[in-house]
C-alpha cells in the first residue's frame, strides 16, 4: 500500500461503544502512516451523523451498541452514504456471530475479530490484519448488495446450461470465496432447490473464530443442510460443507473429506487451491467449480486445471464483486467456462446438476 503512504491518507471512522476499545482501535489505526482516524462514534446514531458530516473512506463498526446497533447503522449508511464498512467484533459466540453476518447482508464488506491486546501472542498478527483490511477496503469505491434470489430464471435445456454443452455426470460442486463472499454464498445456497442432487464443498476465507457462526447464518436461509466439515466424513447429496478454521480441506475417492493442518497455500489455510486440486484429481470432468469475489488469486490456477479436464467452471463477474481478485485472476487465465452474477449462478448450478445426472 505504498501508494497510500505517498498520497492522501485513508480517512477512517471508528464506531464502538466501549471507550477502552474505541481508544485501542484509534491507537492501532492511527499508528499507521497511511491512515488517519477522522472521528469516532459511540453508537449508530452518532455514526450516521459522522458519516454524513465527515465522509470517511472506511468505517470500522461494532455490532452491539446502545440506541442504534451496528446492524441497523450499516443498513442506513448503505442506503444514504454507501461506504466500505468493516465489522470489528469482540464476540465469537456462534449465535452472536450469525447476527454479525446479517450486517454483511446489509452491505458490510468484511468481518474481523477485535485485535488482541498488547502482550497477547496474537497482537501483532491481528493488528496487521485489521490495518491491511482497512487499507484494502478503502479501494472498494462502490459497495454493492445482491438481491435475494426469488423466482429463478427458466431452466436450461437438457445437456446445456447457459449455452455450455456438457456430457459429464456432475458428482460434486466446489466453490471458493474471500472478501465479500458470505452474502454471495448466501444468495446462491438460498436459491438452490431442496432436492438438489449433489454435494457442495466451500472454502470461504475468514478470520478465525467466525466460521461456526457463518455456517449457522447460512443455514437460516438455505433449504440444504449446511455443515462445518468434519474429518473423515463422507459427503452426501444435497448437503453443503464449509471448511473449518485453520485446516486444509480436500476430498478423496468415495467422497471422503480429509482435514489436515498442512502448510498454508497462497498464505491461506483453508486454501481454495488445496481443495480444487483434490477435486480435479478425484472428480475431473464430473465436477463443477467456481470462484467468487475475493482478494488475491487463490484457486485460479486449479480452476484452470479443472477446466482443462473438462469440468464446467465459473467466475463471479466484476460488476457484482466487492473485490475481483480471485475471479479476475481466473478469467485472465481463461479458467472460467462461465462468468456470472450471483443470482444466475444458482440457476446454472441447478441446471447442471439436474441435467448432468
Judge if 78 and 199 occupy the same domain: no
Q: How far is CA 217 from CA 97, 132, 208, 316, in A?
A: 8, 26, 16, 22
Q: Does residue 207 register a pLDDT over 60? A: yes
Q: How confident is the model at residue 97 (pLDDT cuts 50, 70, 90)?
A: confident
What is the per-residue pLDDT for 95? 74
Q: What is the mean pLDDT of residues 64-79?
A: 92
> Which of these three, 137, 171, 192, is where a domain ends?
137
112 and 166 in a single domain? The answer is: no
Confidence of residue 3 (pLDDT cuts 50, 70, 90): very low
* Domain CATH number, residue 79: 3.40.50.2300
Reported as a pLDDT band with limits 50, 70 and 90, residue 226 is: very high
Any catalytic annotation for residue 178? yes
What pLDDT is attached to residue 5? 46
CATH number at residue 256: 3.40.50.180
Tell me which of 69, 286, 298, 317 is the catalytic residue: 298
pLDDT at 165: 54
Grouping H, G, I as helix, E, B as strand and the rest as coil, residue 270 is: coil
Q: Is 334 inside any structural domain? A: yes
pLDDT at position 106, please? 87
pLDDT at site 92:
72
More confident residue, 25 or 118: 25
Q: Does residue 155 belong to any structural domain of this protein?
A: no
Distance CA(111)–CA(180), nearest Å, equals 10
Q: How many domains are contained in the chain?
A: 2
Q: Per the domain annotation, does 85 fall within a domain?
A: yes
Q: 17 and 129, same structural domain?
A: yes
Among the ranges given (47-61, 127-141, 282-296), the one the predictor scored with the smallest mean pLDDT:
127-141
Same domain, yes or no, for 126 and 198? no
Using DSSP bridges, classify how beta strands 10-15 and 58-61 pair: parallel, antiparallel or unpaired. parallel
DSSP 43-94: SHHHHHHHHHHH--SEEEE-SS-SSS-HHHHHHHHHHHS---EEEEES---H
Any domain includes 154: no
Are residues 211 and 81 part of one domain?
A: no
Weakest-pLDDT range from 111-120, 141-150, 253-262, 263-272: 141-150
pLDDT greater than 60 at residue 333: yes
- Of 126, 138, 205, 286, catalytic: 205
pLDDT mean over 299-311: 97
Q: Name every residue whose Cβ is closer than 8 Å to that of residue 291 and which is 6 or more positions away in sequence.
A: 175, 176, 177, 272, 299, 300, 303, 314, 315, 316, 326, 327, 329, 330, 336
pTM tops 0.85, yes or no: yes
The grid coordinates of residue 174 equal 466446489
Question: 298 catalytic, yes or no?
Answer: yes
For residue range 152-166, list pLDDT tens digits in order: 443 333 334 555 555
Are 122 and 177 in the same domain?
no
229 & 104 share domain: no
Lowest mean pLDDT among 99-113, 144-158, 250-264: 144-158
Helix (H, G, I), strand (E, B) or coil at 211: helix
Higher pLDDT: 304 or 3? It is 304
Residue 112 inside a domain? The answer is yes
Instruction: Print the domain residue range for 204.
Output: 160-355
Predicted local distance difference test score (pLDDT) of residue 164: 56
User: Annotated catalytic residue: which of 178, 222, 278, 321?
Assistant: 178
Both 118 and 203 in one domain: the answer is no
For residues 6 and 112, membership in a common domain is answered with: yes
Within a domain: 240: yes
102 & 187 share domain: no
The yes-or-no verdict on residue 137 having pLDDT over 80 is: yes
Mean pLDDT value of segment 47-70 = 94
Amino acid at each position: 500500500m505504498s501508494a497510500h503512504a505517498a498520497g492522501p491518507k485513508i480517512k477512517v471512522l471508528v464506531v464502538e461503544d466501549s471507550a477502552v476499545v474505541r481508544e485501542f482501535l484509534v491507537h492501532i489505526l492511527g499508528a499507521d502512516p497511511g491512515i488517519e482516524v477522522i472521528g469516532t462514534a459511540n453508537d449508530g446514531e452518532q455514526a450516521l451523523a459522522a458519516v454524513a458530516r465527515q465522509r470517511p473512506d472506511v468505517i470500522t463498526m461494532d455490532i452491539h451498541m446502545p440506541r442504534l446497533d451496528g446492524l441497523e447503522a450499516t443498513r442506513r449508511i448503505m442506503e444514504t452514504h454507501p461506504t466500505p464498512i468493516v465489522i470489528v467484533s469482540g464476540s465469537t459466540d456462534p449465535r452472536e456471530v450469525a447476527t454479525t453476518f446479517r450486517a454483511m447482508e446489509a452491505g458490510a464488506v468484511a468481518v474481523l475479530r477485535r485485535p488482541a491486546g498488547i502482550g497477547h501472542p496474537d497482537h501483532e498478527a491481528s493488528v496487521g490484519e485489521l490495518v491491511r483490511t482497512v487499507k484494502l477496503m478503502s479501494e472498494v469505491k462502490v459497495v454493492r448488495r445482491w438481491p435475494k434470489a426469488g423466482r429463478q430464471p427458466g431452466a436450461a435445456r437438457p445437456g446445456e446450461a447457459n449455452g455450455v454443452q456438457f456430457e459429464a455426470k456432475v458428482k460434486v460442486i466446489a466453490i471458493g470465496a474471500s472478501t465479500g463472499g458470505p452474502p454471495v454464498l448466501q444468495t446462491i445456497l438460498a436459491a438452490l432447490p431442496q432436492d438438489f442432487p449433489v454435494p457442495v464443498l466451500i472454502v470461504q476465507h475468514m478470520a478465525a473464530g467466525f466460521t461456526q457462526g457463518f455456517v449457522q447464518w447460512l443455514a437460516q436461509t438455505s433449504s440444504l443442510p449446511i455443515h462445518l466439515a468434519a474429518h473423515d466424513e463422507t459427503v452426501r447429496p444435497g448437503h453443503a460443507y464449509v471448511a473449518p478454521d485453520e485446516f486444509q480441506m480436500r476430498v478423496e475417492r468415495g467422497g471422503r473429506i480429509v482435514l489436515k493442518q498442512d502448510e498454508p497455500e497462497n498464505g491461506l489455510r483453508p486454501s481454495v487451491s488445496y481443495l480444487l486440486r483434490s477435486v480435479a484429481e478425484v472428480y475431473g470432468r464430473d465436477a463443477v467449480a467456481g470462484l467468487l469475489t475475493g482478494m488475491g488469486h487463490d484457486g485460479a490456477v486449479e480452476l484452470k486445471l479443472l477446466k482443462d479436464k473438462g469440468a464446467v467452471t465459473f467466475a463471479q463477474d466484476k460488476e457484482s464483486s466487492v473485490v475481483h481478485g480471485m475471479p479476475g485472476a481466473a478469467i485472465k487465465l481463461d479458467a472460467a467456462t462461465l462468468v456470472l452474477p450471483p443470482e444466475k449462478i444458482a440457476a446454472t448450478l441447478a441446471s447442471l446438476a439436474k441435467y448432468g445426472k
